[in-house]
Structures are given as C-alpha cells and as structure tokens.
Amino acid sequence: MLNKFAKITLTALCWVFLSQNSLAKDLDPLSPTELAKAVSLAAPEQTVQLATRSAAQAPAVAHELELLLVERRPVDKEQPGKRLADVYSYDYRNDETIHSIVDLNTQERLHTERVKNLQLPLTENELARASKLIFNDAEQLNQIQTEYKRITGQTLLKPEQLQVKAFVFTTDTLPEGLNAASQHCGIQRCAQVLLYTHDSVVFEISPIVNLSAGLVTQNISF
C-alpha cells in the first residue's frame, strides 16, 4: 500500500497534471471547426461567400465583405474553459472594419462594432485583387514591362513571371509625395505592391492600389 507521503505526492502530481492540461486547453488556438463557427456566429448571412471564395476568384473591384482575421480572444483566468473569438471583416461598401466578439461555448455573438480607419493586414484574396488591377491597367503594365526589360533583358509576357508581395498602405506610411488619388488611403483600403523577378531582384517602382475604388493610384519610386 502507498504510505501517506506517497499518496500526497501522487495527489499533488495529478493536480499539477490536470491543471496543466486545463491551462493548455485554455491556450489552444481555435480549431478549424471553431473558426468556421466563429465566422458563422459573427455574421451568419456572410458565411458562404466568405468561407468558400478562393483567391483566384477575387474580383477586380470588391462589392462585399472580406474576412480579414479570426483569432482566439484571451479570457480571464477566472473563466477556465471559456472560448471566445475575435472576428474581423472589412466592409468595402462603407469602408469600415467590422469587429465581432463571439462566445463559442454559448454560441452567441456578444458584441459587434464598426470602426473607420482601422486597416488590418491584407488577405490572399486582396493580394490577388491588387495584382489583377495592376496587370489590367494598360499604363501600369507598360511601366512594369519596361522595368522588367531593364532588369532582365527579357520580355514580360505574363504575371506568373513575377513575384508579388503587398501590404496595407495608408497616408501616414508615406506622408509626402502622394497624389490626390492616394490621399484617401487609410480611409479607404489600399495596398502597396512590391514586384520582384523570380531571382528576387526588386523593381524600382512600387504601385499603390486603392482596393476600395478598384484602381491603381500611382507608383512610388525607390
């Protein structure tokens, strides 16, 4: 039989193990099922269009909501097992970021707010849309082809010959040198696009794309 000391030690070890398991569970990121449920609870009528649209299907101009981010929301240690989620979407119709807090335990939406001038990182859909706008703009395409020829000595025939990266652009990113069309960036959703050859040589021009308006506003030179 276990002596008294051994029993106390075993009990303590079990308590620590269970506590650590509980803590680990409370810190777990959202599962795929929980992510889908969070989006559904935040805006049920948007679930299908947000969850099923692929980057390749991104339109040149947005007329709907774009799901930006879904993440686990921290809870107080006094609420073990509580699983909350923050859901962020961008409403292109009103240029507002929608933030919802949902409770995955009770399956209810706790809070929703609309915020102006809050620009979260771009999604893959938005990157695809920015690229499409650039290559559909005749003037912009001509400049890109000229730059590609300068760097490589070859002719740019298709977008797949380039690497494309982008990040959210606002006027405070570059306070000087912006034209009137780019002054709306931040109030509206814009992207600054970086173009590279496949051997990672960066272009000396960087297009600014207004995703809300669906147009290329200007080029920034390095």
Strand partners, 67: 89
H or E element at residue 196: strand 190-197
d(CA 67, CA 30): 16
Pair (53, 133) in one structural domain: no
Q: Is 102 found in the same domain as 178?
A: no
Q: Of the candidates 115, 146, 176, which is a domain's last residue?
A: 115
Beta-bridge partners for 90:
66, 97
pLDDT of 44 reads 57
* 67 and 146, same domain (yes or no): no
Q: Is pLDDT above 90 for 126?
A: yes
What b/e readout covers 117-130, taking b as 16+ CB neighbours within 10 angstroms?
A: eebeebbebbbbbb
Cα 211–chain centre separation: 14
Overall average pLDDT of the 20-49 stretch:
72
Structure confidence by residue, pLDDT tens digits, 54-72: 444 544 455 589 999 999 9
What is the pLDDT at residue 178? 92
Euclidean distance between CA atoms 69 and 98, whole angstroms: 11
Does residue 208 fall inside a structural domain?
Answer: yes
Specify whether 87 is located in the same domain as 41: yes
66, 89 contact by CB (below 8 A): yes
Average pLDDT on 128-141 reads 95
Neighbours of 62 (CB within 10 A): 20
Q: For residue 1, is it within any domain? A: no
CATH of the domain at 208: 3.10.450
**Domain endpoint, select from 115, 143, 167:** 115
Same domain, 138 and 211: yes
How many domains does one find in the chain? 2
Residue 19 located in a structural domain? no
Range of the domain at 216: 125-221
Instruction: In whole angstroms, give the CA distance from residue 116 to residue 121.
Output: 15
**Domain's final residue, options 115, 148, 182:** 115
d(CA 88, CA 114): 10
Residue 198 has pLDDT above 50, yes or no: yes
Query: Six-digit token pair at 100?
Result: 């919802």
Q: Give yes or no: residues 139 and 207 share one domain.
A: yes
In a domain, 217, yes or no: yes
Domain assignment of residue 152, yes or no: yes
Residue 214 and residue 138 in one domain: yes
pLDDT tens digit sequence for 109-122: 999 999 999 999 99
- What CATH number does the domain containing 86 carry? 3.10.450.40
139 and 111 co-located in one domain:
no
As a whole number, the mean pLDDT across the chain is 84
**Within this chain, do residues 73 and 134 fall inside the same structural domain, yes or no?**
no
Assess if residue 135 is contained within a domain: yes
What's the number of CA atoms in the CB half-sphere (13 Å) around residue 196?
10
Residue 86, pLDDT > 90, answer yes
pLDDT at residue 3 is higher than 90: no
**Amino acid identity, position 144:** I
Are residues 97 and 143 both part of a single domain? no
Q: What pLDDT score does 26 carry? A: 55
